[in-house]
């Protein structure tokens, strides 16, 4: 139930409770039977209780939503800080990779292809992206591997990623992993 629907229901229940209270007062003034008055009091009390129950739920919901909004803001701030820090590291890694590619004396085109290979693109995808033929990209890839003294794409990736990956921590003796 949304806030508008809840407000309508609360308003109707409170109106019912007020009307019942007026009716009870009129019935008491006119000498109505006790069971009739008791029944109307029960109906009015039920309507008022329902209104207060819905109001209490609305207050709790608003508090919970406000708390969740604060939590979300905190999580977003943490995520933005992490992304900024990660971006700084990634930019540093990209500069380091570029420096190594320079040391291997790769051409501008070869450096671009090397980065795309490291990103995991296929030779066909690289060719389409660069607007060249797949055979051209294959020949340039071979030139990259030859200049770097590497056997292929996996060794190219390993050259840059091997030191980034933390070695697994060995389990203590007698403890299975």
pLDDT tens, position by position, 133-155: 999 999 999 999 999 999 999 99
Tokens for 93? 């890694």
- Which whole number is the average pLDDT over 62-89? 91
d(CA 142, CA 3): 65
Tokens for 107? 């051409």
| DSSP per-residue codes, 120-168 | T--HHHHHHHHTS-HHHHHHHHHHHHHHHT-SSHHHHHHHHHTTTSPPP
Tokens for 125? 């995808």
Using only the alpha carbons of the chain, give its radius of gyration: 37
What is the predicted pLDDT for the residue at 141?
96
Confidence of residue 175 (pLDDT cuts 50, 70, 90): low
Residue 6 near residue 58 (C-beta atoms within 8 A):
yes
Residue with token string 């990736």: 157
What is the predicted pLDDT for the residue at 166?
66
Confidence of residue 15 (pLDDT cuts 50, 70, 90): confident
145 vs 15, 62, 115, CA distance in Å?
83, 61, 13
Tokens for 31? 């000498």
d(CA 69, CA 173): 47
- Which whole number is the average pLDDT over 17-32? 88
Confidence of residue 11 (pLDDT cuts 50, 70, 90): confident
User: Can you tell me whether residue 105 is helix, strand or coil?
Assistant: coil
Flag the least confident range among 54-63, 66-75, 97-106, 107-116. 54-63
Q: What percent of the chain has pLDDT over 90?
A: 49
Q: What percent of the chain has pLDDT over 70?
A: 92
d(CA 139, CA 148): 14
- Which whole number is the average pLDDT over 19-28? 88
């Amino acid at each position: 139930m949304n806030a508008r629907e809840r407000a309508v229901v609360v308003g109707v229940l409170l109106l019912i409770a007020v009307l019942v209270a007026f009716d009870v007062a009129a019935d008491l003034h006119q000498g109505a039977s006790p069971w009739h008055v008791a029944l109307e009091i029960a109906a009015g009390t039920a309507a008022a209780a329902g209104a207060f129950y819905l109001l209490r739920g609305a207050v709790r919901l608003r508090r919970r939503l406000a708390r969740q909004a604060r939590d979300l803001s905190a999580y977003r701030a943490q995520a933005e800080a992490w992304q900024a820090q990660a971006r700084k590291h990634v930019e540093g890694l990209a500069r380091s990779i570029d420096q190594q590619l320079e040391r291997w004396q790769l051409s501008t085109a070869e450096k671009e292809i090397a980065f795309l290979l490291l990103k995991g693109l296929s030779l066909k995808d690289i060719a389409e992206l660069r607007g060249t033929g797949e055979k051209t990209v294959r020949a340039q890839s071979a030139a990259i591997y030859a200049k770097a003294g590497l056997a292929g794409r996996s060794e190219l990736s390993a050259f840059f990623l091997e030191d980034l990956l933390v070695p697994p921590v060995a389990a203590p003796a007698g403890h299975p992993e």
